[in-house]
């Protein structure tokens, strides 16, 4: 029984490191394809590593028949405290989640000119940076606008193609 448990644990560790390598490859390729800045690729990669390691740890606990009664009470207590903290700071969690969604699904990238359609509060400008919590947009008056990620994915966005813009003059 102990030999099978050890072999299964080693297998889980091998699968874990394989999943880490696979997630690194997929996220990096997706980031390069969408021309995402390396800092965002790093953050999304670290988030995926955290999820993979957490699931692997739980799986190893189950394989080793660890008495989950005490662990469950501890985990539920920790999650309750974290849940209350995140409810109090829901915008942080929603911005982080929105950042992951934007990373994989948003068609615009840094350098594109967009228009966020929000009635009288519409914003038009060039995307300067996409971070974990906000998107920095520079409007035609060179004002920097920080737009929260959670609001960004809720509003209609018009991507004004770069080809339609006038080329910038280069001064030598």
CA distance 52 to 62: 15
Over its length of 172 residues, how does the chain's per-residue pLDDT go in tens digits?
A: 688 999 999 999 999 999 999 999 999 999 988 888 888 899 899 989 999 999 999 899 888 887 767 777 877 888 788 777 766 667 777 888 888 888 888 778 888 999 999 888 899 999 999 888 899 999 999 999 999 998 888 999 998 856 444 555 555 5
Q: Which two tokens stand for residue 2?
A: 């102990």
At residue 50, the pLDDT reads 92
At residue 87, the pLDDT reads 67
Query: Can you list the domains of the chain with their CATH numbers?
Result: 2-102 (1.10.287), 107-163 (2.30.30.60)
Q: Which two tokens stand for residue 171?
A: 């001064």
How far the first Cα of the chain sits from its last, in Å, is: 75
At residue 16, the pLDDT reads 97
At residue 165, the pLDDT reads 46
């Amino acid at each position: 029984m102990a030999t099978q448990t050890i072999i299964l644990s080693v297998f889980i560790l091998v699968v874990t490191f394989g999943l880490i390598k696979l997630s690194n490859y997929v996220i990096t390729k997706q980031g390069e394809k969408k021309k995402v800045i390396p800092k965002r690729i790093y953050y999304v990669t670290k988030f995926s590593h955290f999820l993979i390691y957490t699931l692997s740890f739980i799986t190893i606990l189950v394989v080793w028949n660890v008495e989950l009664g005490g662990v469950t009470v501890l985990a539920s207590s920790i999650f309750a405290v974290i849940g209350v903290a995140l409810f109090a700071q829901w915008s942080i969690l929603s911005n982080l989640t929105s950042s992951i969604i934007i990373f994989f699904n948003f068609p615009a990238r840094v350098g594109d000119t967009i228009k966020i359609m929000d009635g009288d509060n519409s914003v038009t400008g060039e995307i300067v940076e996409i971070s974990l919590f906000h998107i920095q947009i520079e409007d035609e008056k060179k004002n920097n606008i920080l737009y929260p990620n959670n609001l960004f994915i809720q509003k209609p966005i018009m991507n004004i193609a770069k080809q339609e813009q006038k080329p910038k003059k280069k001064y030598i």
